[in-house]
Amino acid sequence: MKIKVKNLGALKQAEFTLGDMTIICGGNNTGKTYATYALFGFLYTWRRMFSIPISSGKIEQLLANGVIRLDIQEYVKQSEQIISKGCQAYTQQLPKIFAAQAERFKETEFQISLDSQNISLASKFDRKISSGEVSLFSITKTEESTELVVTLLVEKEKAIIPIDILERIIADAFKDIIFVQLFPRPFIASAERTGAAIFRKELNFARNRLLEEMGQADKNIDPMELLLKDYDDYALPIKTNVDFTRGIETLVKKSSFIAENHADVLVDFADIIGGEYTVNRNDQLYYVPKGKRVKLSMDESSSAVRSLLDIGFYLRHEAQLGDLLMVDEPELNLHPENQRRVARLFARLVNLGIKVFITTHSDYIIKELNTLIMLNHDKTYLKRIAEEEGYRTTELIASKKIKVYIAEEATIKLEGSKRKTKTKCQTLTPADIDPELGIEARSFDKTIETMNRIQEAIVWGEA
């Protein structure tokens, strides 16, 4: 999946491809978070943005005959057009995604490109629509079939279903069958996650107070207007972060595929935070340091513990195969050793089937990923080094699984420009990744080289 943007925040024109692991690095205010938030917003809302037209004649046939068969391939042929229109609709929603003035996005373009020739349909689909205890109709697709069968389950005289609802439900089925496998389910840990962890109780209190206000409000006032009045000031990724953190007590009843099949990943995560999170019978959240008989609330815990809170609960209770875990600056508040451990954790997740997308300023994370790339070869001395240094084969990663982009000013030819000359503007430049040497992260290398040069001049200046 390739993402193209124009006039998005600091980014004049840029494109990037989503890999198994995608990394955007670069200086401050260079467009990293804009690219991240825009992608998250699309993956979070694409179902609502995509419009799949269902012929009214087909609905009439369903109501008349009790069954219709729809050729899925006919809708696959329209996939590029559906995606293009969906991206246009999404672009119009960017002010809400970023909780910013519409003026900032009046010239913005957001596009997703897919290879429609390689669309893989969901193997089977089975859904029943009911009203109360009465099943109204079913939508099914069997394995190997390219037909979607819609069947009325009640007498047509009793099938009092608005046509627009029928059209929407059938369109949603097509979205699940054609597009779900193309667009991973996103989970984001925004850079504001530490604050959300501290103020969980205050957020719940504010929400409850708002609900009371809604109950006591004048009947002529729209309750949603009250609800959104204070909540619309935050970008969608921050909102979802807050909602996730606020709902942790309910989340603990669920179990992720990692908890069920790869518990050793959770052990490694516990080593990173030096303990574990726990929710007691009264739904109180605590951090329990390893080997100590003490429970610490979030405001008593270290900033590192708070910054990894939502990632920890995601891994234990929410993670699913095929997800996209997005982390804005995973190095927040972490010691360099733990930054290395987080890099190894991400590599393990990629190897297990979870895509990872990060923005980072951390040279330690990049260098550790380089080590994992360089050790991922069938050579005796590399195996010896990996064993001596405590690396496991499950942490090693192939270079082809990683895409790295540097947010920087570079000279490019603007698309749609009539002039043949190239223009210098803010963009995302792909970094070279060598299977033997790893990632060329010049964003960090220049700074490190400058520091080394100055220190060498200080040390050897009198020589």
Rounded to two decimals, the pTM is 0.87
Same-domain pairing of 262 and 289: yes
Identify whether residues 333 and 447 lie together within a single domain: yes
Same domain, yes or no: 371 and 426: yes
**Same domain, residue pair 260 and 305:** yes
Q: Which residue, 176, 185, 188, 175, is CA-closest to 86?
A: 175
> Which one of 178, 208, 232 terminates a domain?
178
Residue 55, C-beta contacts closer than 8 angstroms, at least 6 positions apart:
none
Domain total of the chain: 3
Q: Tell me which residue range forms the domain holding 205.
A: 192-318
Same domain, 325 and 457: yes
Which amino acid type is present at position 199? Answer: F
Task: Evaluate whether residue 94 is within a structural domain.
Answer: no
Cα 200 from Cα 205, distance rounded (Å): 9
Same domain? For 271 and 379 the reply is no
Q: Considering the domain boundaries, does residue 98 fall inside one?
A: no
The verdict on residue 93 lying in a domain is no
Q: Evaluate whether residue 85 is within a structural domain.
A: no
If asked whether residues 338 and 459 sit together in one domain, one would say yes
215 plus 303 within the same structural domain: yes
Which of 13, 14, 10, 17 is CA-nearest to residue 33? 10
Domain boundary among 296, 318, 340: 318
DSSP reduced 3-state for 25:
strand
Is there a single domain that holds both residue 20 and residue 64? no
185: in domain? no
Domain boundary at 267, 287, 318, which? 318
Shared domain check, 343 and 233: no
Both 246 and 310 in one domain: the answer is yes
Residue 19 in any domain: the answer is yes
Print pLDDT tens along the chain (463 aa).
Answer: 899 999 999 999 999 999 999 999 988 889 999 999 999 999 999 999 999 999 888 888 888 888 999 999 999 999 999 999 999 999 999 999 999 999 999 999 999 988 767 788 888 899 988 877 778 889 999 988 899 999 988 776 665 677 888 889 999 999 999 998 899 999 999 887 766 555 555 555 445 444 455 455 555 555 444 444 444 678 899 888 888 888 887 888 899 999 999 999 999 999 999 999 998 877 788 999 998 889 998 888 898 998 999 999 999 999 999 999 999 999 998 999 999 999 999 999 999 999 999 999 999 999 999 999 999 999 999 999 999 999 999 999 999 999 999 999 888 877 766 666 678 899 999 999 999 988 987 667 777 888 888 888 888 876 5
Confirm whether 336 is domain-assigned: yes
The answer on 238 and 159 residing in a single domain is no
Determine, yes or no, domain membership for 138: yes
